[in-house]
């Protein structure tokens, strides 16, 4: 498939990662803030132009009980908006425990710069999708 971008959608910020289907690996890129309580569509468009992904992957929030989490509707709406704006395939990937894993991996660095957690969570979401 080639290059993909992964997103960890949140109501205040969105983590972004880039991955490669050939290797099944991803790299955390950055965490985007919201612009007037909406995704930073300009920055997302620039990332798409830079990386030229063939598809996008958005984290689908689930609780441990397999029920959708409260913020699942927002993530699904974001996925629909990505598809509508950029006409790329958008896949949803189970994101449970990715933020917790990101905090664990970053350790003290997460306390110094919590925005790194979202980008790392996006990396983990993308790798989960690539390796399923």
Q: What pLDDT, in 10s, does the model give residues 71-81?
A: 888 899 999 99
pLDDT (tens digit per residue) in 13-30: 999 999 999 889 999 999
Q: Measured between alpha carbons, how far is 66 from 52 in angstroms, rounded to an integer?
A: 33
Mean residue pLDDT of the chain comes to 86
How many domains does the chain contain in total? 1
Token output for 20: 């490669």
Say yes or no to pLDDT of 84 above 60. yes
- Percent of the chain at pLDDT > 70 equals 84
Token output for 80: 């629909």
Domain that holds residue 105: 3-130
Token output for 109: 């660095």
Instruction: State the pLDDT at residue 26.
Output: 94
Find how far residue 116's CA is from the centre of its chain: 12
Beta bridge partner(s), residue 18: 5, 27
Q: Measured between alpha carbons, how far is 84 from 90 in angstroms, rounded to an integer?
A: 10
CATH number at residue 44: 3.30.420.140
Instruction: State the pLDDT at residue 109.
Output: 60
């Amino acid at each position: 498939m080639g290059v993909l971008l992964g997103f960890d959608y949140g109501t205040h910020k969105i983590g972004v990662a880039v991955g490669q289907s050939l290797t099944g690996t991803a790299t955390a890129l950055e965490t985007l803030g919201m612009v007037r309580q909406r995704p930073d569509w300009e920055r997302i468009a620039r990332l798409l132009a830079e990386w030229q992904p063939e598809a996008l992957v958005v984290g689908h929030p689930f609780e441990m009980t397999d029920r959708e989490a409260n913020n699942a509707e927002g993530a699904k709406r974001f996925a629909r908006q990505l598809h509508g704006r950029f006409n790329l395939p958008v896949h949803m990937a189970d994101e449970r425990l990715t933020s917790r894993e990101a905090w664990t991996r970053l350790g003290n660095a997460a306390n110094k710069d919590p925005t790194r957690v979202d980008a790392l969570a996006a990396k983990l979401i993308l790798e989960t999708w690539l390796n399923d």
